[in-house]
Structure 1
Amino acid sequence: MSPLAISFDDVLAAADIVAGQVLRTPLMPAPRLSALTGARVFVKHENMQVTGSFKERGATVKLTGLTEDERRRGTIAMSAGNHAQAVAYHAKRLGIPATIVMPETTPLVKVENTRAHGARVVLFGETLYESAAHAREIAEAEGLVFVHPYDDPAVMAGQGTIALEMLADEPDLDVLVVPIGGGGLCSGIATGAKGVKPGIEIIGVEAALYPSFHNAITGEDKPIGGPTLAEGIAVKTVGTLTLPIVRSLVSDILLVDEAEIEHAVYAYATLQRTMAEGAGAAGLAAMFSEPERFRGRTVGLVLCGGNIDARLLASVMVRELEREDRIISFRITSSDRPGLLGRITSRLGELGANILEVSHGRLFLDVPAKGVTIDLTVETRDADHTRAVLEALTADGLAPQRIDARGLSETAF
């Protein structure tokens, strides 16, 4: 059997390289997440790196190791955003020209941040696979050094330095929960962590829409693809160098759905007071999906990135408030008489509900000619307050009907 692509010694050597070039991010206790999950939770805040993600570690190790000729010719990388920003930032710092090929679907914030670091950005293709093929064509045509986002020993070893720092700060960690896309982060962390503490458990987490490692390891053929909040780990093809390490050192690959990822992004923002992109929140999402697996254990979460578009974050926050019944929409259908709207809004004020939106309609064909519909969106304190508001409106004879993603319900409850 051939040896694995990297060893513990490689991770130790990488730690010497990143020291002083990459931020040693804090491992922070998370008491509110601990209370929520029943585990003793610590969060490694890689979202505090200059470019907002762990990718700086692998990029620094790779770029530092280039020869003078390779530095002169320049580098090229393909990425959905975080690897792009990391390569662009550290290439500029080291005086190395950088070209980045990104999928056309990459969030604008990541594209603009990459350009701001001085890289030439080429938008090509719908997927990372298409971007990678185009990047290799450019590399061959222009003599550039290709910097792979995960399937490169230098990159993998660089990411593994996270594990060394986590266990140095909290030796009692008994499980690390790591987002996994192409496998560079997970394979590096597994190598580093097992070198320090052989008995520690490593668990990888994939978006359920992109179960690439799950399929590769279990032999299943779950469908791959679709729009996911965790675009940073939305990889269709696993690394050829990373797969043997993950298979050897990672105990399990958990799959998390989109609602769980959204809930984790929301929890990081409201409970940990920090920003997480979808991929960065995947580890916490796994704890939400299988709480009994982690209850009572000392868990290290890798918040691997915080580059989330502000509008997307706002949408996630509102959607979670809706799931918690703290923002609700409902319809009141009644005879059209003067003062009705004022009566309803005053009553909602008395009940402590904050009105966010009102739509007053007289033209729906399913409403009598002398009737009116009033659609309201209100904010409440919690689910119990919501129920009290709807019960009070029902007692007032207004018969509110909830409006949700499926449309108009028969009743308010």
Structure 2
Amino acid sequence: MTEHFHLNTPLLESVSMSKCAGTTVYLKMENSQPSGSFKIRGIGHMCQQLATQSKGVVCSSGGNAGMAAAYAARQMGVPATIVVPSSSPQVVIQRLQDQGAAVKVIGKVWDDANAEALRLAESEGLTYVPPFDHPLLWQGHASIMSEVAASLGPGVKPGAVVLSVGGGGLLCGVVQGLKDVGWAEVPVIAMETVGADCLNAAVKAGRVVTLDDITSEAKCLGAKTVCRQAFEYSQNGETPVLSELVTDEQALHAVETFLNEERVLVEMACGATLAAVYTGLVHRLQQEGRLPTPLRPLLLIVCGGSSIDVEQLNNLRNKLRT
């Protein structure tokens, strides 16, 4: 069996984004993982720890976590059942089936699908793979930062890390990874879209809250409740977490700009990260004194996305721009 299922992904400098941000921008290209997103790091790690002798794995996911679980299960030769909400695009269901997974469509949002996944784990003796809330996942995701530190080399430390938050698994992994490489004080800009903003809502309320509904088109950010560990990190960790929002329109515009400039198509969830640069949000944080000026290099985690293709991009344009 391979040591792990994820790749050491490229770290690229973006000249156009650097110009826009006024500092060097590095892109950690997690979209080039075999499952299409960073999720394979944590989910691959978890499956190797827990599922080698399993009757099968079950995962609830509107996209990327399911793709990662299906990929890892296929590599390990165990069956995978992926439970998705009805909001998942057909392209995702098809890709999951292509990986050899059985797909069940249950409920309207991820929380509904997750209840069914937990039921199946119990009734059929399957290994439950959560999409974001588990220490083994965060441990796997933390590997992003050790790769970045190795790529940048000694003496180069980012001024901030920009990432998207759905349920908070990537945030937990990156904060852990920053500690692992001795960069605990580097701030993390945690991006969400309006309408899929469970971390931002929790930060404003001072406690973990559950959103009434997911109204954003960034369906892969669509957890109604952020994981407690991500919230804890946002409150009192040694790593500053800046919770910020962009609109769906801004996230979509970022997806299109990135496609034009970098020739890479990512999904709306990832567009939220890119929008931190394209909308001038980073400059605003500097003006407010929440980020230093001048700023050391910015690291953007291009988290990826298996739920986007040209047809889906056109659908989003039609929905958001009519």
Does TM, normalized by the shorter one, top 0.5? yes
Give the number of the structure whose residues are more often strand, by fraction.
Answer: 1
1:182 is aligned to 167
Native 8 Å contact 1:76 1:100 kept in 2: yes
Which residue of structure 2 lines up, in the alignment, with residue 65 of structure 1?
49
Q: Secondary structure at the match of 2:142?
A: helix
What is the rounded CA distance, in whole Å, between the counterparts of 1:74 and 1:59 in structure 2?
A: 14
Q: How far 1:269 sits from its partner (Å)?
A: 0.2
Q: Which residue of 2 aligns with 1:48?
A: 32
Does residue 228 (structure 1) correspond to residue 216 (structure 2)? The answer is yes
Gap change, CA 1:314 and 1:162, over 3 Å in 2: same
- Residue pair 2:187, 2:242 contacting (<8 A) in 1 also: no
**Equivalent residue in structure 1 for 2:12, among 28, 35, 52:** 28
Q: 1:74 aligns with which of 56, 76, 84?
A: 56
Cα separation, partners in 2 of 1:319 and 1:271, compared to 1, 3 Å: farther
Deviations 1:323-359 (A, max 9, x none): xxxxxxxxxxxxxxxxxxxxxxxxxxxxxxxxxxxxx
CA distance in 2, matches of 1:143, 1:20: 25
The 2-side partners of 1:316 and 1:270 are apart by 17
Q: 1:95 to 1:119 in 2, by over 3 A?
A: same
Distance 1:242 1:217 in 2: 10
Residues 250-329 of structure 1 mapped to structure 2, 5 A cutoff: 250-287=240-277, 288-292=279-283, 293=285, 296-297=294-295, 298-307=297-306, 308-314=308-314
User: What is the identity, as a one-letter code, of the residue corresponding to 2:303?
Assistant: C
Does the 8 Å CA contact 1:266/1:316 hold for their aligned counterparts?
Answer: no
Shift of 1:315: 5.1
Gaps of 5+ in 2: 287-292
Q: Which residue of the other structure, out of 187, 197, 220, is the alignment partner of 1:211?
A: 197
State TM-score, norm by structure 2. Answer: 0.87
* Cα-to-partner distance string for 1:263-302 (whole Å, 9 max, x where unaligned): 1101110111111111112111123151413674211001
Which fold has the larger relative contact order, with Cα–Cα distance below 8 Å and residues 6 or more apart in sequence? 2
* Alignment deviations for residues 55-86 of structure 1 (CA, whole Å, 9 cap, x no partner): 111111001112654x2x21111000111011
1:222–1:240 CA distance, 2 compared to 1 (3 A) = closer
Among residues 83, 86, 99, which one is paired with 1:101 in the alignment?
83
1:43 shift after superposition: 0.7
Q: Deviations over 1:69-126 (max 9, x none)?
A: 4x2x211110001110110011111112111100011011111111111111111000
Query: Is the CA contact 1:77–1:101 (under 8 Å) kept in the aligned structure 2?
Result: yes
Query: How well do the aligned residues superpose, as a CA RMSD in angstroms?
Result: 2.4
What secondary structure does 1:84 align onto?
helix
Kindly provide the CA deviation profile for residues 197-219 of structure 1, in whole angstroms up to 9, marking residues without a partner as x. 12311111111112211121221
Give the alignment of 1:85-234 within 5 angstroms. Answer: 85-170=67-152, 171-196=156-181, 197-219=183-205, 225-234=213-222
Cα distance in 2 for residues equivalent to 1:18 and 1:173: 31
Native 8 Å contact 2:18 2:24 kept in 1: yes
- CA distance in 1 between counterparts of 2:240 and 2:193 reads 17
Q: Note if contact 1:213-1:238 (Cα within 8 Å) is conserved in structure 2.
A: yes
Report the equivalent of 2:289: none
Structure 1 residue ranges (4+ consecutive) displaced by more than 4 angstroms after TM superposition: 17-20, 220-224, 315-320
- The answer to whether the Cα contact below 8 Å between 2:5 and 2:40 also exists between their aligned partners in 1 is no
Change (3 A) 1:285 1:19: farther
Match of 2:290 in 1: none
Q: Is the 8 A contact 1:98 1:119 kept in 2?
A: yes
Q: Cα–Cα, structure 1 residues 107 and 244, in superposed 2: closer, same or farther, change >3 Å?
A: same
Secondary structure of the corresponding residue to residue 97 of structure 2? helix
TM-score by length of 1: 0.69
For residue 238 of structure 1, what is the amino acid of its counterpart?
A: V
Distance in 1 of aligned mates of 2:219 and 2:317: 18
Q: Give the 3 Å change call, closer, same or farther, for CA 241–27 of structure 1 in structure 2.
A: same
Deviations 1:201-250 (A, max 9, x none): 11111111122111212217896534423211121111134332343234
Cross-structure match for 2:232: 244
Name the larger-Rg structure.
1
Q: Tell me, in whole angstroms, the C-alpha distance in 2 between the residues paired with 1:127 and 1:250.
A: 31
| 1:318 Cα deviation after fit | 8.5
